[in-house]
Structure 1
Amino acid sequence: MMNQALITIVLHAIKEQYVTEKAFYSTQLGISSQSWDRWKKGEHGLKPDNMQVVAKLFTDYEWMLVQKVCRNADILPEVAEEPVREYHFLKYQIAKKWLKTGIASVKWHSTENPKEDVSVRKSAVTTLRLETNYDFWSYKDILDLRLPSVIRHQIEAKKIDLLEWMSENNPDTIQELKETKK
């Protein structure tokens, strides 16, 4: 039986990054809608190669957080009820801590990739990337926070400080901002 929290978090990540679920499972996993539906219902797993593709929806550090949320969802009913909220809450708490302690570098980037078909990936998703580097080759932790573009413009124009903005907002208010932009 697949972990329902994992399925819920993965579906949310797909919704954030891809135009449709079908765009993801048909182009990235190369599976049928029936296989995808059976996976979503927890009736069967995905092949290891496809689980690696699913994991790439997240940074390595985020994938570790997903695993922790899934484990806690097995134990704590409140996490099982809202695993996406728990996952985003953790990401924001960690991001705030990294920013407060000064251990993270910050970069804005857009997910526009000229190599990928625009009918597959959502275009121009604004992402705030926080990276902590441990001075070991290829070992760094990365958190990607997908934010409304207006926030990027406010922070870049120095109308608001990033740490101040993060302290005043949380994943719920950011989700509300995203939904009002639709």
Structure 2
Amino acid sequence: MKMHEAFVLIVVNAVRERYVSEKAFYTEELGISGQSWTRWKNGERGLKAENLQKIARLFTDYEWMLANKVARNADVLPEVASDPVAEYLRLKVAIASRWIRQENVHVDWKTAAVSKGKFKENVTILRVATTYGHWSYQDIIEIRVVGITHKQIGTKKQALLEWMHDEKAQQKYLEYSKNAFVPESNLEE
């Protein structure tokens, strides 16, 4: 799998996690046609710098770096190339779990923004931020989960770690995230 293909899969998954459809994203956020979106996904055409910035905003800075690393590794590692989205999602949970064990971490829950017809509803976001002792320098990972509330897990480190290491909870998270990526067969222009 080529690096661009893996990167596109990760981006499309991020779009599908947040928006009701790819079309809602590329028409309302990027202001492009379905044909232009498809050409970009197929590596036939680039996007304007401002649209690439909008795609980057689907991720935190740390997630953006991680998505690029996974895409690069898909070029050389068959196990990553076979499912770069699952690799990216698993790494987010594994890294967030390590951060939670540290003292310089802040954890909070938030509800995803909802705008009728544009964003997905009923999504809770676990936001894990680690700091380095310097003002405004922190790394953030956001884990989107559906069907649970922060009250079910809480914000205590032990409860979060138990949830992150619970195989059933992780399977549910991966299934949700993988189900978010359902390729659209009929792109309307």
TM-score category (smaller protein): 0.7 to 0.9
2:52 matched residue in structure 1? 51
Q: Is the 8 A contact 1:88 1:171 kept in 2?
A: no
Structure 2 vs 1, CA of residues 2 and 36 (structure 1 numbering), >3 Å: closer, same or farther? farther
1:72 matched residue in structure 2? 73
Q: Is the 8 A contact 1:2 1:42 kept in 2?
A: no
- The aligned amino acid for 1:175 is L
1:141 matched residue in structure 2? 139
User: Identical aligned pairs, as a percentage?
Assistant: 48
2:119 matched residue in structure 1? 121
CA-to-partner distance for each residue in 1:2-26, whole Å, 9 max, x for gaps? 7100100001011100011011001
Paired residue total: 175
Q: Is the 8 A contact 2:128 2:142 kept in 1?
A: yes
1:176 matched residue in structure 2? 175
CA-to-partner distance for each residue in 1:19-75, whole Å, 9 max, x for gaps? 110110011111111101111222112111111110100000000000110110111
Q: Is the 8 A contact 1:98 1:104 kept in 2?
A: yes
Offset, 1:149:
3.5
- Counterparts of 1:2 and 1:71 in 2: how far apart (Å)? 5
Offset, 1:177:
6.0
Offset, 1:124:
3.6
Q: Is the 8 A contact 1:2 1:44 kept in 2?
A: no
Q: Is the 8 A contact 1:69 1:86 kept in 2?
A: yes
- The aligned amino acid for 1:6 is F
Tell me the secondary structure at the aligned position of residue 97 of structure 1.
helix
1:18 matched to 2:19:
yes
Offset, 1:151:
5.4
- Counterparts of 2:41 and 2:16 in 1: how far apart (Å)? 14
- Counterparts of 2:101 and 2:28 in 1: how far apart (Å)? 40
Q: Is the 8 A contact 2:7 2:67 kept in 1?
A: yes
* TM-score, L = length of structure 2: 0.84
Which structure 1 segments of 5+ residues have no match? none
- Counterparts of 2:143 and 2:76 in 1: how far apart (Å)? 27
* TM-score, L = length of structure 1: 0.87
Offset, 1:171:
4.3
- Counterparts of 2:176 and 2:13 in 1: how far apart (Å)? 16
Which structure 2 segments of 5+ residues have no match? 180-189
Moved more, 119-128 or 50-59: 119-128
Tell me the secondary structure at the aligned position of residue 69 of structure 2.
helix
For the aligned residues, what is the CA RMSD? 2.2
Among candidates 160, 165, 169, match of residue 162 of structure 1:
160
Offset, 1:156:
3.0
Q: Is the 8 A contact 1:73 1:79 kept in 2?
A: yes
